[in-house]
Structure 1
Amino acid sequence: MKFQNLVKAFLPGIFLFGYTVGTGSVTAMAKAGADYGMSLLWTILLSCIITFILIHLYGKFALVTGETALYAFKKHIHPLVGIFFIITLTAHVCGSIIGVMGIVGEVCYEWSKSFVQSGIQPIYFAIFFILLVYLLFLQGQTRVFEKVLAFIVAIMAICFLVNFFILMPPPLEMLKGLIPQVPETQAGESSFLVIASMVGTTVFSGLFILRTTLVQEAGWTFKDLKKQRRDAMFSALMMFVVSASIMAAAAGTLHTNGIRLDNVTQMIGLMEPLAGFIAVSIFTIGLVAAGISSQFPNVTLLPWLLDDYHQNKPNMKRTKYRLIVFVLSLLGLIVPVFQAKPIAIMIISQAFGALILPVTVACITYLGNKKSLMGKHAFTWTTNLTLFLILIFAVIMSYMSYSGLWDTMKDL
């Protein structure tokens, strides 16, 4: 019973952790590990620290004011700010939905060749996982979502941690990776773009906006401020541990053997001679769990945002929401049906993500300093200085991302 209560206390954090560490995160961390070893471990650490700060501040705002983020943007800044987030975040997750199912389907197809001579086609895996996620959505209750995700996230975390201990690089190499450095460009691909992609998959604006809704759904009040802070810290800590484990697995196999990674699906074929079938199977199960844990919040984000904006109690059983989620879920069939390369869509999605973060930081800074809202809990000068530094970092990451994406689009 005590264990169940402990899990229940951390459900909002588990939910956010599962959302963040998806196939996009696995791809970014695996590529960084394969191409640059552990030299970019500091990027994961810094991203997780920033994520913790923003999750905590958005959660604190919700506890003090009782308001959710988009409604607060609409009421206290301007309605167009709320609409801006609805449009950009939806565009961002649409690209993610396409990419997640595409990668999961391809990875399962490659893995199935170990059991079936010609493999099971990606379309069948995509249909199965799309139906699984949609059936979970039809349950219609956030608590059900959180409990299922907690189970899936546990599988994912265990798989990646086991792989870490099997494939870990030398401890000294990992310690050196905590010292900030920017490695030289390899094979014409800027390390800036790799860094920006790692930050973009971890410091995701949708997390912080969704945090205010989850805090309300948990029934927390201001007296739960310490619990909210612990929950945010737990979420960020797990993000760091699992992301670092993924990077280490790629660094300990592919980087050690001088093999670069252009697509996460390559890991199935490339890792087996180096790591063995068991390690590859564990990695595959972890990646599939990561895909499901991020896909569910992806397809349900728009209904959450609409309820937030209109200050409605979240209700996933509305007919229009079931239709919206069904249509969004079908986007997951684009890659396997049309054998598409979702590069352009993912590029646009990432560009939206880079655009949103500075605005997200600016909005919470404005609201957190509004005395009429926060009263004696208004942000202190240390909090404001921290947010200012995060804003500068976000702008730099946006510039790196746009520069890299523009160069990539010119090469398409």
Structure 2
Amino acid sequence: MTPGSEADLRDIVAVAVLAEEPLAIEGTGSKRGLGRPVQAARTLSLAGMSGVTLYEPEELVLSAKAGTPIAEIEALLDAHDQRLEFEPMDYGPLHGLEPWQGTLGGVVACNLSGPRRLKQGAARDHILGVRAVSGRAEIFKSGGRVVKNVTGYDLSKGLTGSYGTLAVMSEITVKVLPKSETEATLVLRGLSDEEAAGAMAAAMGSPAEVSGAAHLPAYVAARVADAALGEASATLIRIEGFGPSVEARAAHLGKALERVAALERLEPEASRRVWRDVRDVRPFVDGTQKPVWRLSVTPTKGHAVVMSLRMQAAIDAFYDWQGGLVWLRMEAGEPEDGLVRETLRRFGGGHATLVRASESVRAATAVFQPQEPALAGLSKRLKAQFDPKGVLNPGRMG
């Protein structure tokens, strides 16, 4: 079912509520492989609700219908030298689909972000307001078109990351920001995972205002940007801003880092290609369904978590967010979820999300990090308030 308006959307949800008939909610389906399989007889697609409804470059605000392709929004912003600062990733290729198919609603529903998150936050931090239809078939709105809103429940942030299980968003307003005039990436070659963790921490703690810090072991670096990085391990430090500022900061940081390892520099176009591939997990885009995990850990412990896992299972891994985001591919084809979660627990905790696996594996695995009892109870009560009949994406989050 493809509604063309908010009223159509409300009517479809109302019929589903009356019939107690579950709906699978999606935009173009590019993130269908995220979360547990949804058990629903019908699919509600927001693809027909597309288009930018407001764009005021001077006010740094944009509103668009939920089914609007992210590629269309980014092209519009680029023409005005602006961008989505949270750098949303594209999950399509990882799941065997064509790139650039994601929608604004999908990005917000999954709270996606890219390498710039460690400096600018995730999608949740850039949402100003939403319009949506709840599982009660009621239209509601939250927030507005300005950064400051009155106090109260911030439903916009509550819906961000809910994977369409609380409400179906119809329109979303986001904050946009000017693009950087230029960027450069410093590349340290040949560091071990542990050495890279120290180098990234030093870079993040410097006055250089780093906007990206990632480490690609040798076997991963060769799969980025058409092998432009070569086969040695690559520790990436990105600096963005005005031209003279980037030059000064890169030179200052480069002098400090060249004592650590051999240093190279990527200019703007090459830098953008590399970070795009890191953002979209291109090293693991292999045409298979080998399980891929997304681990959120303490940045200084990421390398230790990976080393411990390597001692017990065949894995491939690389790091983003200064080591706080670890991407794992399980080479034997089994998710090893017990091993992954127990390893996180032993190293002080974290979150593990299974972001790629076959449908049968996802149906039998706790895809998202299990919640503590108190938080699980709160989530259950929130679901009951927004979707008492359980018609929106049932089972997707567990």
What TM-score do the two structures reach when normalised by structure 1?
Answer: 0.22
Tell me which structure has the larger Cα radius of gyration: 2
Higher helix share: 1
Higher strand share: 2
Q: Which has the higher contact order (CA 8 A, sep 6+)?
A: 1
What TM-score do the two structures reach when normalised by structure 2?
Answer: 0.22
